[in-house]
Chain A
Amino acid sequence: MDTFFALLQGLSVAIAPMNLLFALIGVLLGTAVGVLPGIGPALTVALLLPVTYKLDPAGSLIMFAGIYYGGMYGGSTTAILINTPGESASMATALEGNRMAKAGRGGPALATAAIGSFVAGTIATLGLTFLAPTLVEIAVKFGPEDYFALMCVAFVTVSATFGDSPVRGLTSLFIGLALGLFGIDKLTGQARLAFGVPELLDGVEITTLAVGLFAIGEALFVASRRSHAPEQLEPVRGSLWMSLDDWRRSWKPWLRGTALGFPIGALPAGGAEIPTFLSYSIERRLTKHPEEFGKGAIEGVAGPEAANNASAAGTLVPLLTLGLPTSATAAMMLAGFQQYGLNPGPLLFADHPQLVWGLIASLYLANVMLLVLNLPLVGLWVRLLAIPQPWLYAGILVFATMGTIAAKPSVVELGMLTLFGLMGYLMRRFDYPIAPVVVGLILGPVAEAQLRRALSISLGDPMVLLESPISATLLAIAAIALIAPFALKGLNRFKAEED
């Protein structure tokens, strides 16, 4: 009942005209960047951080959340109509969705994606509403050693689940951790890795890293491959409305996708790729029309799209209750909280209930707005894809550099932006995942601070990490998650040799 009351109070914050406007701007921007290939919600939030730091925190966080949700809706449009999913989370949608579009059933594919996203988003936001207070009660009991152990779990799962090789994911993570070391050590005041450059004393800015990796890196990668990968836009054909049969075939995949997406998103495992592909293979197995899979089966769009949106809502659970980002966009939202001096976690629920519950309530509204905006206006969104690629990327780069120099007026920062851009290009070219770098930069310093706090409380006794039951359990989970992929790989090799 407390939760219900808190949510009602949040609703009163969310329907304030200014906040409604921010939510609307957020979902519009989010859908636009989701539709445009090459820019995702993480980059958009990163670009907006420097521009919004003078605005009202509640309003801009509501806008960021709208961008997150909107990006998921918009990504499915691109995946269905041009088979080049903007986000890796939309890859499963593209499998059947693009074939439906080619077979002249693009309308129903877009409709089942949008309605499925709405159903999943709403159910998952309900899940967030009722799970968050429970988790907060648990999180209050966490000591510094437990937080450190939790960070270890996040490090392992984030780097092992993104990308297909744990070594490459861990390499990305450690590059991020290394970048987190730069700057003045907060406990002793000594400069680490500053090399006498004053700009490095403040450490590496999260926005500079994110914008460099996502905007500049992506632009370099796309530009270098421009002549190799032509894209083809499928026009929307057929009615936008789903037939009765389409509805009958869609509602169960929506619910199953939600049931997969929300828990996997809410666990500090992160990533929407796993639930979307799981949902795809489950629908493929359960369908009554197996002959249609591979030619455009509506179940193969409905399930993954629902899983995608549910996991987006799921990642907000650890973000808000523990301050733990498990996706690139969640990491940028955490940076958004931090720029207002707010730290997500149990204390945020106690100190700023208006803001947290306003944000959660606005998610329900954002979902409704997205459903209303997406179905009738899909033709309008598709027209965004007609922006000539050179101008689109040139514009992105202009805003990327402007945001960076506005946040920190120094040419050294622009030099770092260029270097991170080249790093992002190389990581894309050699297939290293990007998100663990950002998560490493954000969480690395936090993990170090918690560990040092824990050890100074215990007078330097490292056993404190194992004596706390929460910390011991979490560290065990981290160890298993770290070793399991290697063990399974060895097992596979063993099997392969047997054949």
Chain B
Amino acid sequence: MDRKLNRPDGAGIAIALGLLALAGVIWWDATQLSAGSPYGLGPDAAPKVVAAGLAILAVLNFISAWRGTMPHRERGDLGPIFWIVGGMVALIALIALGGGFIIATAILFAATARAFGRKALLADLGIGFGLGFGAYLLFAKLLTLSLPMGPLERLL
């Protein structure tokens, strides 16, 4: 299942560069802080240690990516990932626009089921709607959690 490339590994190099960028952002942010207590460590010490560690690890990851010794899983399909992430984005947009919890849930449910190979999108929307409805009644009404409100929720 795992395999090793024996040539420079593009994804591994991208990961190393990402780590280096994260280290840079943390370091830059730490320099913006003003020193705190007269004794001991200020608030910028820990970020600088973490940033330095990340930079070292970026280099080590880069070396192993360059040598092609990073373990690689088999390639996965991108289609299902777009469906799930799309479902999450739709859920966030709907909640931000005041569409409410139940409808947003139905869409996420249907999109995820589609990602796992179900073709009956409308039926899954119905099941997701039922699940969202039940979950809303149980958690918002019975356990008094605050869930996003929309037109449907206001009717209940």
Contact = CB atoms under 8 A, between A and B. Distances in A.
B89 interface: yes
Contacts of A402: 101, 105, 135, 139, 147
Nearest to A221: B76
B103 interface: no
A51 B95 contact: no
Interface in A412-450: 414-415, 417-418, 421-422, 425-426, 428-431, 444, 448
Question: Binding site of A, secondary structure by majority: helix, strand, loop or mixed?
Answer: helix
Nearest to B29: A193
A165 B127 CA distance: 43
Interface string A369-402: 0000000000000000000111101110111011
B15 A430 contact: yes
Interface string A459-488: 110000000000000000000000000000
Contacts, number: 209
Nearest to A187: B36
Interface string B16-54: 000100100110011001101101111101110010011
Nearest to B63: A167
Question: Binding site of B, secondary structure by majority: helix, strand, loop or mixed?
Answer: helix
A237 interface: no
B73 A429 contact: yes
A232 interface: no
A139 interface: no
Contact of A223 (B19, B39, B84, B95): B84
B46 A448 contact: yes
B39 A418 contact: no
B57 A171 contact: yes
A170 B30 CA distance: 22
- Sorting the interface of chain A by its residue count into under 10, 10 to 19, 20 to 34 or 35 or more gives 35 or more
Nearest to A219: B84
Nearest to B110: A394
A398 B131 contact: yes
B139 A406 contact: yes
Interface string A177-221: 110010001011010110000000000000000000000100111
A412 to B, nearest CB: 9
Nearest to A53: B145
B40 A394 contact: no
A397 B88 CA distance: 9
A421 B91 CA distance: 15
A406 B41 contact: no
Contacts of B64: 167
Nearest to B1: A229
A451 interface: yes
A178 B72 contact: no
B144 A397 contact: no
Nearest to B83: A223
Contacts of A452: 37, 40-41, 45
Contacts of B40: 452, 455-456, 458-460
A219 B101 CA distance: 21
B84 A192 contact: no
Interface in B54-101: 54, 57, 60-61, 64, 70-74, 76-78, 80-81, 83-85, 87-89, 91-92, 95-96, 101
B73 A431 contact: yes
- Sorting the interface of chain B by its residue count into under 10, 10 to 19, 20 to 34 or 35 or more gives 35 or more
Nearest to B91: A401
Contacts of A393: 112-113, 115-116
A459 B47 CA distance: 21
B72 to A, nearest CB: 7
Nearest to A440: B50
A225 interface: yes
Given A181-B46, A225-B74, A390-B117, A188 B37 contact: yes
Contacts of A50: 145
Nearest to B33: A190
A224 interface: yes
Contact of B71 (A174, A175, A431, A455): A431
Interface in A217-242: 219-228
A409 interface: yes
A222 B80 CA distance: 9
A54 interface: yes
A226 B84 CA distance: 14
Closest 7 CB pairs of A and B: A224-B76, A223-B80, A390-B116, A455-B40, A188-B36, A456-B40, A394-B112
22 contacts: A178-B26, A178-B50, A185-B36, A188-B34, A193-B25, A225-B76, A388-B118, A390-B112, A390-B118, A394-B110, A394-B113, A394-B124, A398-B105, A398-B135, A405-B148, A414-B95, A418-B88, A425-B81, A429-B73, A430-B11, A430-B70, A455-B40
Given A405-B147, A430-B72, 16 more contacts: A51-B139, A175-B54, A178-B26, A187-B37, A188-B33, A192-B29, A219-B115, A224-B78, A225-B73, A227-B77, A393-B113, A397-B88, A397-B109, A411-B96, A414-B88, A431-B2
